[in-house]
Amino acid sequence: MVLLLLVDLDPDLAALVPLGGFFPLRTGAPPRPGLPTLADAYADPPAAAGPDPLTFRVRKVGDALRAPEPRVAASLAQQGLAARLWSVALACAVRYDRLPDLDPRLLRWDPDAAAPDDLWLTAVRPRPADPAALADAVLLGHLEPLAGALRARHPIAPGLLRGNAASALAGTARQLSRWARAHGRADDDARTRDLAARLLAHPLLAPTHTLTGTAFRRRSCCLYYRVPGGGVCGDCCFPRPPRPSARGTSG
């Protein structure tokens, strides 16, 4: 029997800070008023007041990477936000055995900022951290609405976006496991692997990949190979960038 030490969420989510990268989450009021919530970003049609934050983010990513078409930028923007949300949720589940309420209405988003300066959780409300709760919070509460909003704006395949969601989760788990092993936290490593495997078996994610032990390979492509200087990712379904004649079927 494995006994878990339950630790209450602290108001600053300080246990996430040493993890670095996409893991920390700022809490409280954002640095300036007027930032949209993620609920605003997922709205379809976009909220009438002000520019559409999701369109802004996709254009920003497209400009930064010189993406050849909007659907490439949309895919990569979605994958980045998916990694951000999985990182926060998985790290809280492992480090606290609690999940903060990640309701999109509680998360303020700066679509012009990079992680970890992009999100602010305006209220820290503890929730359970079992696999079903994580799937409800991130996959159903965020990534499915985000995919719907992107598909309403861009011609992008649903399987590609769910593949991105699974890939982002697998990548998050690898990073968190690496940190746990480097710091001698075998229980955190085991908890990470168990949660990730259970989440990847969710009916929405299971068809998107193969998982052999901890070796993850997706069945779709995020389209990164289409940006100038891009190639295929380590978990891509393609062993090398497709020929131009195959590019229309890579999603």
Strand 209-212 and strand 107-109: the pairing is: unpaired
Percent of the chain past pLDDT 70, that is, above it, reads 92
Kindly list the domain boundaries of the chain, sorted by start residue: 14-206
Residues 216-242: tens digit of each pLDDT: 999 999 999 999 998 999 989 998 888
- Band (214; pLDDT cuts 50, 70, 90): confident
Query: Helices in 154-229 by DSSP H: which ranges?
Result: 158-182, 186-200
pLDDT of 251 > 80? The answer is: no
The mean pLDDT value for 86-111 works out to: 97
3-state secondary structure 25-66: CEECCCCCCCCCEHHHHHCCCCCCCCCCHHHHHHHHHHHHHC
Quick one: pLDDT at residue 7? 57
Residues 119-136: tens digit of each pLDDT: 999 999 999 999 999 999
Quick one: pLDDT at residue 248? 46
Angle ∠(190,194,199) on CA atoms, nearest 5: 150
- Cβ distance 69 to 109 under 8 Å? no
- In angstroms, the CA 18 to CA 32 distance is 25
pLDDT of 6 > 80? The answer is: no
Residues 168-210: tens digit of each pLDDT: 999 999 999 999 999 999 999 999 999 999 999 999 999 999 9
Quick one: pLDDT at residue 2? 33
Quick one: pLDDT at residue 250? 47
**DSSP-assigned beta bridge partners for residue 215:** 212
pTM of the full predicted structure?
0.92
Quick one: pLDDT at residue 246? 45
Quick one: pLDDT at residue 49? 64
- In angstroms, the CA 213 to CA 66 distance is 36
Chain mean pLDDT for the chain: 91
